[in-house]
Amino acid sequence: MLTQIADGVLVHRSEFCQSNAVVVQGRSGVLLIDAGVQEHELACLAEDLAGQAVVAGFSTHPHWDHLLWHPAFGDAPRYGTVRCADTARARLSDAGARDRVRGMIPADIVDQVPLELLGGISGLAASEIPWDGPTVRVVEHQAHAPGHASLVVEDSGVLVAGDLLSDLLIPLLDLTGAADPAEDYLAALRLLEGLPADVVVPGHGSVARGGEIAARLDRDRAYVQALADEKPVDDPRVASLAPVHERQVRALTAPR
């Protein structure tokens, strides 16, 4: 079910990890950001959009749960940043790629995740999404994944944060090759802090408004700074993600 969160901006919540698909309404159709995860949810979203064509898509970063699509959305151009698209293409280019992705998906939903249109995004070098709707600014940073973008829907005061600023997940660093993943994340938080936003939609979790936005920035910054300083972390989100947290601690404290 679509829920309106601001003028012309709606959210569709997935059962998987409280994933948020974002719909921005334009003049001749909609922009669909991070479309969703499970087949029945994608089909539900397509039904909710009945009468509104999808004229553009965008993936905030090159992780499988943000690269999915459904035939009912049509063949609209799908974008990511240039680095995001290059990364997705490299990761999905060989014959075993989809089997690797299936191995990343929880067993209880793997048969419900349509991988036929996985990826398929084009690199967008422009700072705004090319479409006939409100200005949507692309803000690239390197927190969480290569070529990660957060999007600002300027007329509505909405920041689509991608996998940052979640009340559900701890900050998840890019441990796959970033030279300084903690500083990359802190730099992204500084960047997002300077953006005009009345509403923040994280990739996973609940929408934030007003003072909660600053609270989430502070919470994420405190977590990452504690990791960087090799200090204990006091964050209630760690409890449900203890193995992930411990892996991040080991990665940042390992000899280099």
Q: Which residue has the higher pLDDT, 65 or 256?
A: 65
CA gap 241, 218 in Å, rounded: 19
pLDDT at 82 over 80: yes
pLDDT confidence tier of residue 256, bands split at 50, 70 and 90: low
pLDDT at 50 over 80: yes
pLDDT at 124 over 70: yes
pLDDT at position 54 is 97
* Cα→Cα distances 86→79, 80, 121, 135, 196, Å: 11, 9, 9, 25, 29
9-19 CB burial, b ≥16 within 10 A, e <16: bbbbbbebbbb
Instruction: Indicate the Cα dihedral angle 110, 143, 182, 247, nearest 10°.
Output: 0
| Mean pLDDT for all residues in the chain | 95
Closest among 9, 61, 44 to 30, alpha carbons compared: 9
CB 104 within 8 A of CB 62: no
pLDDT at 13 over 70: yes
* Residue-wise pLDDT tens digits, 84-96: 999 999 999 998 9
Q: Which CATH number fits domain 2-253: 3.60.10.10, 3.40.50.300, 3.60.15.10, 3.40.640.10?
A: 3.60.15.10
pLDDT at position 36 is 95
pLDDT at position 103 is 95
Average pLDDT over residues 22-50: 95
Three-state secondary-structure class, residue 72: helix
pLDDT at 244 over 80: yes
CB 101 within 8 A of CB 116: no
Least confident segment among 34-43, 183-192, 247-256: 247-256
Checking 213-220 for CB contacts under 8 A at 24+ apart, the result is 213/159, 213/165, 216/165, 216/166, 216/167, 217/165, 217/189, 217/192, 217/193, 220/164, 220/165, 220/171, 220/185, 220/189
Average pLDDT over residues 194-212: 96
Average pLDDT over residues 30-44: 96
To the nearest whole percent, how much of the chain has pLDDT over 70? 99
pLDDT at 30 over 90: yes
φ and ψ at 243, to 5 degrees? Answer: -60, -40
**Alpha helix segments (H runs only) across 145-207:** 181-193
pLDDT at 220 over 80: yes
